[in-house]
Structure 1
Amino acid sequence: MSARGIATKIDIAAGPELVWQVLSDWPRYPEWNPFIVGLHGRHLLGARLVATLHPPGGRRTTFRPIVTELCPPQALAWRGSLLLPGLLDGAHHFRLEALNGGGARLHHRGALSGLLLPLFGAKGLKSARQGFLLMNRALKQRCETLASAATA
């Protein structure tokens, strides 16, 4: 079974702790996140989440992934399936890297696999990638606005 991946990154002019604070404040996602428009659950390894994604040009999809990595303020990952495991499985991973000068680099990756992956197609993968990029830019804007307000 093949897998398809998405790997993005963005530099943010805010410290990793502030970026983590925004990234892990799931109830506020609807205020700023154009891609993951809902994320609910406990911040615990092995916890089941309820995630609602809205890729550009696509429809909202809700699934129930499990937290597979939780290392504040550096890494968060989850893995889930659409309908049944093995049909369309997805993994989502965020990793923060401290930059010299006080900023942070967000590494935002995802991978899709499963029997329905061929039906997902290049268009679906392109839309998901656009969603990652939109989320990255929105996170950058929110974090940099908060950082500027804190120093004003």
Structure 2
Amino acid sequence: MKEQIMSEIVIQAPLAAVWKVLADFAYYPNWSPTIQQFEGIPEEGKQTKVWLQQPGGTRIKMNPIFLRIAKEQEIRWKGKLFLAGLFDGEHYFVLKPLANGQTLLIQGELFSGVLVPFLRKMIKGNTLAGFNLFNQALKKEVEGSL
């Protein structure tokens, strides 16, 4: 089974300014309400522990592999719950330049695995709400630093 969620926001800042905050993994604890900490600096092709906090109180530690870190374009990782195929998630941030020096942030995740139907309410509820909270916090952090 599969399920995909996505959240977008327009940030009143150039792509380079958004990337600077998004790719500064050590600084996340200072502004992000949902992605709270990276243990180490993520590198493409490697695993890095990530602490997540969902609205509603669920806090989890995951150890995803970073699939892509492309400067001013995309950050993508894939994690799993216990065993591959049970509940997997491929999370992504995509940046797109817009007119007038604005940037579109697209945050999404493709969930797959046998537990997806049982976790659909959480995915479309607290998880999607967390994406929106993160996007708003990133917008505030970037726009406030200009």
User: TM-score by structure 2 length?
Assistant: 0.94
2:96 is the alignment partner of 1:97:
yes
Q: CA deviation at 1:124?
A: 4.1
Change in 2 beyond 3 A, CA 1:72/1:87: same
2:127 is the alignment partner of 1:128:
yes
8 A contact 2:25–2:41 mirrored in 1? no
Q: Distance in 1 between matches of 2:104 and 2:18?
A: 9
How many residue pairs match? The answer is 146
Q: CA deviation at 1:93?
A: 0.6
Residue of structure 2 equivalent to 1:20: 19
Residue of structure 1 equivalent to 2:73: 74
Residue of structure 1 equivalent to 2:51: 52
Q: Distance in 2 between matches of 1:83 and 1:58?
A: 21
Gaps of 5+ in 1: 148-152
Residue of structure 2 equivalent to 1:150: none
Gaps of 5+ in 2: none
SS of residue paired to 2:94: strand
What percentage of aligned pairs have identical amino acids? 34
Q: Which runs of 4+ in 1 moved over 4 A?
A: none
SS of residue paired to 1:86: coil
2:36 is the alignment partner of 1:37:
yes
Residue of structure 2 equivalent to 1:84: 83
After superposition, give the CA deviation of every residue in 1:92-151 in whole Å (9 maximum; x if it has no partner). Answer: 11111111111111011112111222332313431100000000000000000001xxxx
The one-letter code of the counterpart of 2:30 is E
User: TM-score by structure 1 length?
Assistant: 0.90
